[in-house]
Amino acid sequence: MKQYAYIRVSSKDQNIDRQLAALEPYGIPNGRVFCDHQSGKNFERPAYQKLIRKLKRGDLLIVKSIDRLGRNYDEILEQWALITRKIGADILVLDMALLDTRERNGDLTGAFIADLVLQILAYVAQTEREFIHQRQAEGIAAAKAKGVVFGRKPIPMPEHFEDVERAYLQGKLSVRKAAAMLGVSRTTFCRRVQSAEKTQ
């Protein structure tokens, strides 16, 4: 059995000393400590992918906390299953003693409890995401009810916009020429034409 460690910080400016200090008691050689300096939103990280290729059945992966492994619990569940079931390695999360898949007294209690705890954490994370989206939707609806307008203010059009728009709709002007006459981009002109049609 070999022991490996995984460390992650979100940027090169962040310090990894705290994570390294937590790993010291395990005496893991530097060649088996893998570190990524990037976001935990997904697992497309070079050091992590290299680590996965190194792990073998019976090995142990140690991380300081579950958020160092990743921040998306759906993907954490996938990677957890990959490591513990497909590869057959164990995982130990130092900040949460229950997230330890190693056998205890010759049974599978450790793996069972760790999987259960992880499922609960994933559920809580998903529920919190849904609550955040719900609160955002309620906040936007309340603001709109008070007359708050979201987005950038529309670019004011010259007084002769309607004349140019009419000529464009009648096929007398191209989009490029109409936009040039108004001094705006083609995208802005098309957006304003569409907006004007909706309000008619």
Query: Which residue carries 């609160």 as its tokens?
Result: 135
Q: Residue 83: pLDDT band by 50, 70, 90 thresholds? A: very high
Out of 10, 174, 185, 195, which one is annotated catalytic? 10
Total tally of structural domains belonging to the chain: 2
Q: Are residues 33 and 89 in the same domain?
A: yes
pLDDT tens digits, 91-129: 999 998 889 998 765 666 788 888 888 888 888 877 877
Residue 44 CB neighbour total at 10 angstroms = 9
Query: What is the mean predicted confidence (pLDDT) over 34-55?
Result: 93
Tokens of 190: 């098309």
Q: Is 39 a catalytic residue?
A: no
pLDDT for residue 153 is more than 70:
no
Q: Could you give the dihedral angle defined by the CA atoms of residues 54, 59, 64 and 69, in that order, rounded to the nearest 10 degrees?
A: 50
Which residue range(s) make up the domain with 105?
3-126
Residue 91 located in a structural domain: yes
Do 114 and 122 touch, CB atoms closer than 8 A?
no
In a domain, 27, yes or no: yes
Quote the pLDDT of residue 106. Answer: 60
